[in-house]
């Protein structure tokens, strides 16, 4: 998709506040300052998990549940696309490509970064501790080690408690 002179930012999103924060941060850093002369093309990607991986088990009745899970996953993907479109529209940024691809988010994001010749891959961090990352796997950690482009992992600031603000 990208020629030698095009620079591409690929932003991975799921239905979390962390990923929407990462999208907004990417827009503020790479697009908003250059509205009149965009320096990058924007690719927004949602990796939709397969229904079977969401269920995590196979047994009697699973076949009956899969279509319901598929519907729910499709609805979530539509909501993610709408939210991303709204966020970009609010900042007057045009999305070059908005994609939903089914599969493991690590592989989907890695393949998209390569396919689009990304200059940078932007992801939100869920802020899991070391133990959770071992058991759940960290998409951002995987991509930081395997992507052939720069990877920007955006951490969502923690909310400040009113009790901490003593003036």
Q: What is the number of residues in the chain?
A: 167
Q: How many CB atoms lie within 10 A of CB 86?
A: 11
Q: What is the pTM of this model?
A: 0.84
User: Domains in the chain, please, with CATH?
Assistant: 7-154 (3.40.50.620)
Instruction: Identify the pLDDT of residue 58.
Output: 62
Instruction: Give the pLDDT confidence of 51-109 residue by residue, as tens digits.
Output: 877 776 666 666 778 888 899 999 999 999 999 999 999 999 999 999 999 999 999 99
Instruction: Identify the pLDDT of residue 166.
Output: 47
CA dist 101 and 70 (Å) reads 13
């Amino acid at each position: 998709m990208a020629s030698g002179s095009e620079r591409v930012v690929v932003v991975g999103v799921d239905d979390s506040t962390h990923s929407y924060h990462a999208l907004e941060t990417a827009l503020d850093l790479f697009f908003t300052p250059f509205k009149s002369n965009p320096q990058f093309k924007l690719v927004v990607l949602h990796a939709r998990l397969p229904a079977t991986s969401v269920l995590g088990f196979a047994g009697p009745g699973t076949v009956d549940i899969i279509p319901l899970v598929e519907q729910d996953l499709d609805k979530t993907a539509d909501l993610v696309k709408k939210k991303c479109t709204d966020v970009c529209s609010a900042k007057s940024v045009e999305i070059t490509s908005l994609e939903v691809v089914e599969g493991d988010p690590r592989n989907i994001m890695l393949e998209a970064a390569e396919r689009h010749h990304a200059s940078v891959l932007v992801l939100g961090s869920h802020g899991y501790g070391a133990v959770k990352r071992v058991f759940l796997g960290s998409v951002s950690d995987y991509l930081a080690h395997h992507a052939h482009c720069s990877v920007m992992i955006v951490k969502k600031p923690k909310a400040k408690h009113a009790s901490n603000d003593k003036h």
